A and B are shown apart, each in its own frame.
Chain A
């Protein structure tokens, strides 16, 4: 089945540690995105990538880093510089071609908790 897979579903991190969240898609989509979700605040854009080897900062990129070495993979690293990393992280992808925006497909999310 085609889709987006995020792993792990739950992740615990000690303060001061970096942690990497995985996102893989087999939809052959060019564009991939990372959003952060906090209670009552909706989804906020962290980073996005329209094509392999290229990515752009979103609204809340500080303390995060990404890479896009393969079309199907867009891992997110939460660094120790992120002051409040506990949140629900959502990865998405879309066709991303042309001037028309298209449906974004979301993964099931990773809940990160700093302990």
Chain B
């Protein structure tokens, strides 16, 4: 089955700096790659997603890039703010068969004011 690895496990940046979180996946059939943000004691919320027919997607300060050949994708947050502090999860899934997300182990992002 699918295996998703996520790095780093913790990341501390200064306010205004950029943050990058990287994930790799194992199943070349995966075609959907969302990123979720989870605040303490709450359920994860989707912040951006990308499909395998696209190499990059941006939404204001957040961008995701996908390299299908290398089977890795990354989350980029620019101009970080204290409210960006949370745990971020990447995930992957395939379009047929088991249509459930496989998650990475998470990255705890701390933005220092």
Interface residues of A, Cβ cutoff 8 Å to B:
4, 6, 31, 33, 35, 40-45, 48, 50, 56, 58-59, 90, 92, 96, 99-101, 103-109
Q: A48-B100, A101-B31 are in contact. Are A106 and B105 (CB under 8 A)?
A: no
Q: Is the CB of A106 within 8 A of B45?
A: yes
Q: Mark B37-74, 1 if CB is under 8 A from A, else 0.
A: 00001111110010100000000000000000000000
Q: Is the CB of A100 within 8 A of B96?
A: no
- Residue B25 lies at the interface, judged by CB distance under 8 Å to chain A: no
Q: Is the CB of B100 within 8 A of A106?
A: no
Q: In the complex, which residue of chain A has the Cβ closest to the Cβ of B106?
A: A42
Q: A90-B44, A109-B42, A109-B43 are in contact. Are A103 and B103 (CB under 8 A)?
A: no
Q: Is the CB of B41 within 8 A of A104?
A: no
- Residue B95 lies at the interface, judged by CB distance under 8 Å to chain A: yes
Q: Is the CB of B46 within 8 A of A31?
A: no
Kindly list chain A residues whose C-beta atoms are within 8 Å of the C-beta of B34: 103-104
Kindly list chain B residues whose C-beta atoms are within 8 Å of the C-beta of A105: 46
Q: In the complex, which residue of chain B has the Cβ closest to the Cβ of A33?
A: B100
Q: A100-B95, A109-B41 are in contact. Are A42 and B46 (CB under 8 A)?
A: no
Q: Is the CB of A42 within 8 A of B105?
A: yes
Q: A40-B106, A106-B45 are in contact. Are A96 and B1 (CB under 8 A)?
A: no
Q: Is the CB of A59 within 8 A of B105?
A: no
**Shortest Cβ gap from A59 to chain B (Å):** 7
Q: Is the CB of A100 within 8 A of B51?
A: yes
Kindly list chain B residues whose C-beta atoms are within 8 Å of the C-beta of A44: 103
Kindly list chain A residues whose C-beta atoms are within 8 Å of the C-beta of B94: 101
**Shortest Cβ gap from B90 to chain A (Å):** 9
Kindly list chain A residues whose C-beta atoms are within 8 Å of the C-beta of B36: 106
What 10 A-B pairs are tightest by C-beta distance, nearest first?
A106-B43, A101-B32, A42-B105, A43-B103, A99-B95, A42-B103, A48-B100, A101-B93, A108-B43, A103-B46
Q: Mark B75-113, 1 if CB is under 8 A from A, else 0.
A: 000000000000001000111101111111110000000
- Residue B9 lies at the interface, judged by CB distance under 8 Å to chain A: yes
- Residue B6 lies at the interface, judged by CB distance under 8 Å to chain A: yes
